Structures are given as structure tokens and as C-alpha cells.
Amino acid sequence: MSEPLAATRVAEPSSELLWLPANHARRASRGDGSWQFARGLMDVLSLIIAAGVAAPVLGAWQWALIALAVAVLAGTGTYRPRRRLAVAEELRRVAAGTGLACIAVAAAAMLLGGRSGVGDAVAVLWLAGSVIAGTGRLALFGAERAILRRETNRGRTLIVGAGRVGRLTAQRLLAQPQLGLRPVGFLDKEPLTAGGASDMPLPVLGASWDLETVVEAEGIDTVVVAFSTAPHHVLLDLVRRAWQLGADVMLVPRLYEVEVRRLQTQHLGGLPLVALGASDPHGVAFTIKYALDRVVAGVALVMLAPVLAVTGLLVRCSLGRPVLFRQQRVGRDGRTFDMLKFRTMHGAPDDHGEADAAWAELMLAGDGGRPATARSAAASARRSRVGDLLRKLSLDELPQLWNVVRGDMSLVGPRPERTHYVHRFEDVVYRYGERHRVKSGLTGWAQVHGLRGETSLADRIEWDNFYIENWSFWLDLKILVMTLPALLGRRGGN
């Protein structure tokens, strides 16, 4: 059942597959129900602790607030089992749910109970409850992920379709055991074998008619339906059979290239219509984003002036003039600009060649999914000790704040590439040119997830396009917050 499409990438790595859960009894038997109960219990205990501060004012109303807060959180899906922890989303859910309950109870206490000073008490309770519950939730998820990473007999997953997308799905699940989905093999009547046996991460255990046998023999908990050439009625029957066997079902959706988070579903009888609310790179929101970028970058330049001066002096003493390195890069709509950096190496690329030339050739050779293994010794020898320090701390990138002030770049966006590489990458790397819909950034969605320097270019482009199609001010803020820990663990540069 290999898929006929030539694309080799599924939806953005951090997004969830479309999940069609099985019956609750089987999920509870796998331990998912106990984690749901633990999250609810953690919220109740956190709110009880926070309510101790407001007890003298609220009195018995505090118990109504706790009950309502838990009910709101449950009603908004906070306690539903999920395969991946989105930290920012989790904290926002807790804060919003407890905030709504606090407003409702405060109004009732003042109107029905005639209590005074309720507003201040409720505000304190909301702040304390959100912080305590959020912290407890993160600790609980950390424990859950650690347990899932170690357990090998839970979350056993069968992938339907052994084509390119199915194999890529298996590779990513194998690389992320904390999701609790452990692929054990494929179901496929006609597996795609163009890549050879070495490209097959798991064995093919049978065809669609072997579902019951494989689920029973392998102890399958979840069935993932990837791209397949099987007829519609065969796949539909397979999903229903998996449900009857008590397995969860997850789907890799068609048209995954336009996967966005802002979805609206309407039903025409039993036919769903899904509206995809992608962002508009030429809309008013992006205009506001770029204006704010310039203001923030200008303020940052003033505040960081002493750091810039000391860094410039160190570069001047170690490498001489010029202090700044200028290189043409490609930004929004394919326009070129001179990107600024502090110099970190002796000589220039024109004289010594690009430091990452070996990586670029690997990407151009079609190995876009595999990172290069090592930087050349000659390139490492050209870098000064000061340059090594600047790159480790990312201080060499600070002059790009001036690029943001000038309007060449944004604070957040895809990292800009050199002009001579861009023209060649566009012909080789899937969807490469689409990243130029927005301004390049100092930091980006791919970079904060470790895709910088000599890493997989195809994966980087995938993350960049996901950022563009799902952009929001909240996502930009999230990336900026994630940048510091990403820099502390960075490898290489760009």
C-alpha cells in the first residue's frame, strides 16, 4: 500500500496526528485514565493551597470556586489524554480556566453573599492558583514522559502504509519515545522498496486483512494510518476493525503541506468541511509585527550598547579590521540584503571557501534529511579564540539588530541564507522557496528546536513553513522565550 506521492515530509514535527480514540475502558487499562485523574487531583490540591490565602474573605465560596475551576478545566478538554505536552498552551489553559471560575465566583459572592474585598482576594487566589497548578502540571507531565520513555510494553503502534510517509512517521516516533507511541511494524500489501531494506526502519508484518492477527500477536494499542494506495472502503473498514479491537486510531492527513492549527469544521449532513485559517504574510497583522520589531530592536541596541562596544573591541584586538562581517543574504520575497555579524574567523569566504561547504554539497546531493557529520579542520583553524566564544554565546549575531531596525529582518522568522546557495537549494529542497514569504529572523521556530548550523535542511524548511502558516503574536513570544535555552545548548551557527 505504498503512497503515490513523491513528497517525503509529513506535517510539522511538533504537531499531533489526527487522533480517533478507542473506547475509554481500553485506554484506562493502558494507564491513560490514571494520568487524567492525577492531573485533576493536582489541580484540586493546588487550588486548595492557593485558597488558604483567601479563605478569611471568601469563606465557603472558596469551595465553589475550586469546584467550578475544575469543571471549567474539564469542560475545555484540559484533562483529555494527549500525546505531546505543549508547555505554553498548558499554562494558558490553566490560567484561563481558573480565571473564568474566579470571575464567576467573585460576582456571585458580591451579589448574593454581600461580601466585601472579594475582588482582591480572588485576584490573589487566581495568581497563586495558576502558578501552583501550572508548576504542578509541568512536574506531572515530566514524570509521565520519563515513565513513557522507559516503558517498552506500552503504546505499541502499528503503521498502515510502508511508503515514504509511513517510514518517516516510524522514524520520528522511534526518535521520540516520550510520546508513548512505540512503532513495531507496518501493514502493507505492496510496500515501497525503492529505498532498499536499509531505508525500512521496521518490518512489514502483513497486509490489511492481517490486522486482527497482528494486533493480537503484537499487543497493539494504536494504529496509525499513513498514506496508502488501498481503496477508500478498505481503509474505512480497517479503522472500524481497529476500533472493535480496542485500539486507538491516528491518521496522517492528506494535504499535510497546508496543515494549520486554526481550523473550523462545518458539517453537511455527515460530510465535514474543514476551513484552513492560514496567516496572511502580506496582511495588517504582519505589518504591525514588523513595526514592533523595529521598535524593540532599536531599544535593544541602546540597552546593549556597552556589550556591543566591548565585543567590537575584542574582535578588533584579535582579528583586526574590519570588525563587522557583511554577507549578502536572501530575505522576504527574494530580496537581498547585507546581513551583519561580528567577525569570528581569519580571512574571508571568497579566499578560503565557505566553512560549511561540505554540508551544503550534502544537501544539494539530495540528502536533505541527513545532517552533515563534521566541519572541516581548515574552517575550525580559521576561527579565533574570541570568535569561538562569540559563537558559543551568539554574541556574533547582535549586529543583526541593526538589520531589524533597517527593515531587512524581523526578530522572529526563518534564518536567511546566502544568495548563491538559495538559487541552488530551491531546485533541490522541497518547499524551500516558500520560506521567503516573510522576513528573515534573528531567531526562528526551527532554530529553537535545534535545527541550526549543519543540520537537516529539509527538516528546517518544514518547521519554517509551519511557522509562517500558523504565525501569531503569541507564537512569536513563545519563540523569543524559548531562544535563550536553545542558545545555551546550540551547536554550530548560521
Residue 209 reports pLDDT greater than 80? yes
**Which of 131-135, 183-187, 343-347, 487-491 comes out lowest in average pLDDT?**
487-491
Q: What mean pLDDT value characterizes the chain?
A: 78
H helix runs in 304-356, sequence order: 305-319, 349-352
Question: How many degrees, rounded to 5, is the angle at CA 482 between CA 479 and CA 486?
Answer: 120
Nearest to 438 by CA among 262, 278, 286: 286
pTM: 0.69
Please tell me the predicted confidence (pLDDT) of residue 492: 46
Mean pLDDT over 311-331 rounds to: 90
**For residues 173-184, average pLDDT:** 82
58-109: pLDDT as tens digits: 566 777 777 888 888 887 777 776 655 566 677 777 888 888 887 887 777 7
User: What tens digit of pLDDT does each residue of 116-135 get?
Assistant: 666 667 777 777 777 887 78
Handedness of CA 449, 475, 329, 389 (dihedral sign): negative
Euclidean distance between CA atoms 121 and 488, whole angstroms: 40
| Domain edges within the chain | 18-22+154-259, 32-150, 284-488
Contact 349, 355 (CB under 8 A): yes
Average pLDDT over residues 237-248: 90
The CATH architecture to which 18-22+154-259 belongs is: 3-Layer(aba) Sandwich (3.40)
- Rounded to 10 deg, the angle between the 118-150 and 32-58 helix axes is 160
| Percent of the residues in the chain that have a pLDDT greater than 90, as a whole number | 24
Q: What is the mean pLDDT of residues 384-398?
A: 86
Which residues, at least 6 apart from 473, have a Cβ–Cβ distance to it below 8 Å?
Answer: 285, 289
What type of residue sits at position 406? R
> Residue 464: which pLDDT band, with cuts at 50, 70 and 90?
very high
Q: What is the pLDDT of residue 330?
A: 94
353: left (phi over 0), alpha (psi -120 to 50) or beta: left
DSSP 8-state secondary structure symbol assigned to residue 448? G
Q: Is the pLDDT of residue 292 over 60?
A: yes
Q: Residues 466-477: what's their mean pLDDT?
A: 91
Better pLDDT: 406 or 10: 406
Region 142-157: what's the mean pLDDT? Answer: 74
Kindly state the helix (H) or strand (E) to which residue 410 belongs, with its residue range.
Answer: strand 409-412
Please check the confidence at residue 30 and state whether its pLDDT lies above 70: no
- Top-ranked range on mean pLDDT: pick from 212-226, 287-301, 345-359, 426-440: 287-301
Pairing of strands 417-418, 222-225: unpaired
- Higher-pLDDT residue of 199 and 307 is 307
More confident residue, 451 or 186: 186
- Higher per-residue confidence, 454 vs 84: 454
